[in-house]
């Protein structure tokens, strides 16, 4: 479908002077070319929107107040392009980035669309496929570095199986480890300032995808040769598909200093990967995630790009796509403001202050025989401790009232 150029009126209604939730580049919001450029095609219907030229996407994201744009290699340079075509496309894209003040914080490789990857890329049983996947990824890393990317994401969408007898899962892990060790060495050999971020997903498009959650990825990273340069890129929808707490997955990544990037969107448990507008489903979980990332309760803050790996409903035209993009960013900023108010609320601070015990706390870590003896001898009134009410009902109601805007607005 030919690309339609539309000047949407929505942009004027979205941003007015003094609007505290108007997105700005300092908020570090990013979108992939494939997200706002999603044409609405799904397994049961063809595209409903025209393909967007990357240069048009850059201009519109800048207009919406975004900080940056991310890409798979094929999003920018169509598969099979000649070197001359590639260089022309990259030149024009770089000019659009400069003209509109957008950056490219993250890049990645499409190792899932082309039929050659139908049984995986790095984990494929065919060495020719694994060789082609490495070659395609090296070229895509070069492209990402040329555009200024500092984070390189690996989402193994086809690294999985349906007929699980097709390969020993241990062999699949070994092949993926070999590929990542090879590519980490490629980055180091070329002196690139680049870190890798591994993105987990439990299934779809494969019946089961290897390394299905962020937890699996964190262990896998510890087995890599160059593990210091490899972190994770958790996605809301992917952990939620498995019925897991996304905030807990992110917290474990932050605690391990491995949250190198993040994919924000919305999702209902037990459904296919919906990649919905951020915050549009489970507002409580979105609030708790933003509270964690923004560090409003006192913990460390996430300072990397806030990437929305999401797309507009299939019902939308291009104007609706930019409403979608603005909605992602505005909702994040609104929830951040609610989290600041919640953690500044004196009653919340009272209810969440740590329970202290100056006698027992020194005994709870750093084993010694003396500490063990003191623990055995400690006077702990178990029935009295067990009978204590923790007032979490009040705390959670306060969170609800902050979220619903009847408190701390």
The single residue among 27, 263, 281, 345 that binds Mn ion, judged by CB under 5 A, is: 263
50 SS3 class: coil
The single residue among 8, 108, 267, 296 that binds ligand DIG, judged by CB under 6 A, is: 108
Selection from ligand DIG, Mn ion, none that 27 binds (CB < 5 to 8 A by kind) is: none
Binding to ligand DIG by residue 213, rule CB under 6 A? no
Task: For ligand DIG, give the closer residue by CB, 112 or 287.
Answer: 112
Binding to ligand DIG by residue 200, rule CB under 6 A? no
Binding to ligand DIG by residue 327, rule CB under 6 A? no
Is residue 205 reached through a cis peptide bond, with omega within 30 degrees of 0 on the bond before it? yes
Task: For ligand DIG, give the closer residue by CB, 179 or 348.
Answer: 179
Task: For Mn ion, give the closer residue by CB, 235 or 345.
Answer: 235
> Nearest approach, Cβ of 341 to ligand DIG (angstroms)?
31
* Matching residue, tokens 């003191």: 374
Binding to ligand DIG by residue 32, rule CB under 6 A? yes
Give the active site residues. Answer: 72, 75
> Nearest approach, Cβ of 265 to ligand DIG (angstroms)?
8
Comparing CA positions, the residue from 197, 82, 208, 77 lying closest to residue 146 is: 77
> Nearest approach, Cβ of 237 to ligand DIG (angstroms)?
7
Binding to Mn ion by residue 153, rule CB under 5 A? no
| Cα distance between residue 125 and residue 335, in whole Å | 46
Binding to ligand DIG by residue 159, rule CB under 6 A? no
Which helix (DSSP H) or strand (DSSP E) does residue 144 occupy? helix 127-146
β-bridge pairing 160-161 and 208-209: antiparallel
Is residue 275 reached through a cis peptide bond, with omega within 30 degrees of 0 on the bond before it? no
Binding to ligand DIG by residue 199, rule CB under 6 A? yes
Name residues whose C-beta falls within 8 Å of residue 396's C-beta, 6 or more positions apart in sequence: none
The token pair that represents 102 in the structure block: 């957008």
Q: What is the 3-state secondary structure (H, E, C) of 154-221?
A: EECCCCEECCHHHCCHHHHHHHHHHHHHHHHHHHHHCCCCCEEEEECCCCCCCCEECCCCHHHHHHHH
Selection from ligand DIG, Mn ion, none that 153 binds (CB < 5 to 8 A by kind) is: ligand DIG
Binding to Mn ion by residue 309, rule CB under 5 A? yes
Task: For ligand DIG, give the closer residue by CB, 235 or 323.
Answer: 235
Binding to ligand DIG by residue 153, rule CB under 6 A? yes
Residue 266's φ and ψ, nearest 5 degrees, are: -140, 155
> Nearest approach, Cβ of 393 to ligand DIG (angstroms)?
37
Binding to ligand DIG by residue 235, rule CB under 6 A? yes
Per-residue binder mask for ligand DIG (CB under 6 A), 56-95, x = binder = ----------------------------------------
The single residue among 275, 281, 323, 343 that binds Mn ion, judged by CB under 5 A, is: 275
| Cα distance between residue 302 and residue 396, in whole Å | 24
| CB-based contact 22:334 (threshold 8 Å) | no
| Cα distance between residue 180 and residue 177, in whole Å | 5
The single residue among 263, 318, 343, 345 that binds ligand DIG, judged by CB under 6 A, is: 263
Which helix (DSSP H) or strand (DSSP E) does residue 153 occupy? strand 151-155
Binding to Mn ion by residue 75, rule CB under 5 A? no
The single residue among 73, 75, 294, 309 that binds ligand DIG, judged by CB under 6 A, is: 309
The token pair that represents 153 in the structure block: 């994401």
Name residues whose C-beta falls within 8 Å of residue 209's C-beta, 6 or more positions apart in sequence: 156, 157, 159, 160, 200, 201, 202, 203
Residue 94's φ and ψ, nearest 5 degrees, are: -60, -40
- Alpha-carbon torsion angle 276, 278, 280, 283, nearest 10: 140
Q: Which stretch binds Mn ion (CB under 5 A): 132-140, 262-270, 332-340, 348-356?
A: 262-270
Q: Report which DSSP code applies to 226.
A: T
Task: For Mn ion, give the closer residue by CB, 96 or 289.
Answer: 289
| Cα distance between residue 68 and residue 66, in whole Å | 6
> Nearest approach, Cβ of 149 to ligand DIG (angstroms)?
12
Binding to Mn ion by residue 237, rule CB under 5 A? yes
| Cα distance between residue 9 and residue 392, in whole Å | 46
Task: For ligand DIG, give the closer residue by CB, 235 or 318.
Answer: 235
Give the interface with Mn ion as residue ranges (CB under 5 A).
235, 237, 263, 273, 275, 309
Chain residues binding ligand DIG by CB under 6 A are 32, 34, 108, 153, 155, 199, 235, 263, 309
């Amino acid at each position: 479908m030919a690309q339609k150029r539309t000047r949407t009126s929505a942009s004027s209604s979205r941003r007015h002077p003094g609007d505290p939730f108007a997105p700005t580049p300092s908020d570090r919001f990013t979108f992939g070319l494939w997200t706002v450029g999603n044409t609405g095609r799904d397994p049961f219907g063809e595209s409903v929107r025209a393909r967007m030229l990357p240069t048009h996407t850059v201009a519109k994201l800048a207009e919406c107040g975004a900080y940056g744009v991310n890409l798979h290699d094929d999003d920018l340079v169509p598969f099979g392009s000649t070197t001359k075509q590639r260089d022309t496309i990259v030149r024009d894209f770089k000019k659009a980035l400069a003209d509109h003040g957008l950056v490219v914080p993250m890049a990645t490789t499409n190792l899932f669309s082309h039929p050659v990857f139908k049984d995986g890329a790095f984990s494929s049983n065919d060495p020719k496929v694994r060789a082609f996947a490495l070659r395609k990824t090296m070229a895509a890393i070069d492209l990402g570095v040329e555009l200024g990317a500092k984070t390189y994401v690996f989402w193994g969408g086809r690294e999985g199986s349906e007929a699980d007898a097709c390969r020993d899962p241990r062999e699949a892990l070994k092949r993926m480890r070999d590929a990542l060790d090879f590519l980490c060495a490629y980055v180091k050999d070329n002196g690139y300032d680049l870190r890798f971020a591994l993105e987990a997903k439990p299934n779809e498009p494969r019946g089961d995808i290897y390394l299905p959650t962020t937890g699996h990825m964190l262990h896998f990273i510890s087995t890599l040769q160059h593990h210091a340069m490899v972190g994770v890129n958790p996605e809301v929808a992917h952990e939620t598909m498995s019925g897991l707490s996304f905030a807990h997955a992110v917290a474990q990544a932050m605690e391990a200093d491995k949250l190198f990037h993040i994919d924000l969107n919305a999702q209902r448990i037990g459904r296919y990967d919906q990649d919905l507008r951020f915050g549009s489903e489970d507002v409580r979980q979105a609030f708790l995630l933003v509270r964690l990332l923004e560090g409003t309760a006192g913990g460390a803050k996430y300072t990397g790009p806030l990437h929305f790996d999401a797309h507009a409903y299939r019902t939308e035209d291009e104007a609706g796509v930019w409403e979608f993009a603005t909605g992602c960013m505005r909702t994040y900023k609104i929830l951040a403001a609610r989290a600041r108010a919640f953690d500044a609320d004196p009653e919340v601070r009272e209810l969440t202050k740590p329970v202290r015990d100056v006698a027992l706390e020194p005994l709870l870590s750093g084993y010694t025989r003396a500490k063990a003896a003191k623990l055995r001898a400690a006077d702990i009134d178990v029935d009295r401790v067990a009978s204590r009410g923790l007032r979490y009902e009040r705390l959670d109601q306060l969170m609800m009232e902050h979220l619903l805007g009847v408190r701390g607005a």
